Amino acid sequence: MTTEKPSKAAFFDLDGTLLSCNLVTTYAYYARNDRSIVKSAYQFAKVLFTVPIFFGLDLYSRTLFNEVFFRAYKGMHRDRLVGLADDLFEVTLKPSIYSGSKALLDETRAQGYRNVLVTGALGFTIRPIDLYFGFDEIICNHLQFQNHVATGRVMPPLVAENEKATIIRDYAVREGIDLTRSCAFSDSTSDIPMLTATGNPVATNPTRRLRKVALERGWPIVTLKDQGSGDTSYFPPFLRNPLQAADR
């Protein structure tokens, strides 16, 4: 007997949406923990020096930011990146998870949504995150390696901006997902294409610019920070109302 897959999905961004860390803080962890003290100090100093540049790139284009930023991994060994992933999660990522994130995913799952992570983060950092949240599907970026050493390039397609929406639409066709009954959660205007690919976009811990867009378009705005255990009042309306959720 086979179990039918849900016909609706909840698509989640990661950085800024479910947790406060980002690609820069993740790389900084790897830079600080290089086996060579000299190299570690150099890499970490380089991160600090280039933060303003990366911030400007991110405002201009998330895709361009990712392409440029991932070059910093050039020369790093795959085993080292994978081997430090659990420590990265425990030391840096897990403490940054917003208090309301896990309950939100538990609720979408309980209401029949297929939970899908759609993130620009790199694949070797995702396994512990997946174990914590229990996603049904992971869509993320993957570094290119040659002889187990990172080239600084990303395997196409690069998961960011418009490409996220394209990936979601292709995924929906392949998996039989009804996007009009689905929902998407993100904090950034760079994910507007992803949000509008579904029938229920939710501005989640939104930046000032996304909050403005959400208010103009009548989208729900939710905050996952500082939510008490058992409190569901911050869920978007279509999740708080069981009858409305059942109709979707």
- State the total domains in the chain: 1
Q: Tell me which DSSP letter residue 228 carries.
A: P
Tell me, yes or no, whether 184 lies in a domain: yes
Residue 60 has a pLDDT of: 46
Residue 48 has a pLDDT of: 54
Residue 62: CATH number of its domain: 3.40.50.1000
Residue 34: pLDDT over 70: no
82-111: average pLDDT: 96
Tell me, yes or no, whether 2 lies in a domain: no
Tell me, yes or no, whether 3 lies in a domain: no
Residue 61 has a pLDDT of: 62
Q: Is 47 helix (H, G, I), strand (E, B) or coil?
A: helix
Tell me, yes or no, whether 243 lies in a domain: yes
Return the closest-CA partner of residue 137 out of 156, 119, 125: 119
List, as one string, the DSSP characters of 97-138.
Answer: B-TTHHHHHHHHHHTTEEEEEEEEEEGGGTHHHHHHH--SEE
- Find the domain containing 192 and state its range: 8-247
Tell me, yes or no, whether 194 lies in a domain: yes
- What percent of the chain has a predicted confidence (pLDDT) above 70? 83
Tell me, yes or no, whether 129 lies in a domain: yes
Residue 66 has a pLDDT of: 75
Q: Is 185 helix (H, G, I), strand (E, B) or coil?
A: strand
Q: Which amino acid is at 9?
A: A
Return the closest-CA partner of residue 141 out of 161, 119, 162, 112: 119
Kindly report the pTM of this predicted structure. 0.86
pLDDT tens figures, 192-216: 999 999 999 999 999 999 999 999 9
Tell me, yes or no, whether 83 lies in a domain: yes
Tell me, yes or no, whether 144 lies in a domain: yes
CA angle, 154 as apex, 68 and 19 as ends, to 5°? Answer: 75
155-175: average pLDDT: 96
For the ranges 101-110, 169-178, 230-239, which has the lowest average pLDDT?
230-239
66 vs 159: CA distance, rounded Å: 9
Are 134 and 105 a contacting pair, CB within 8 Å? Answer: yes
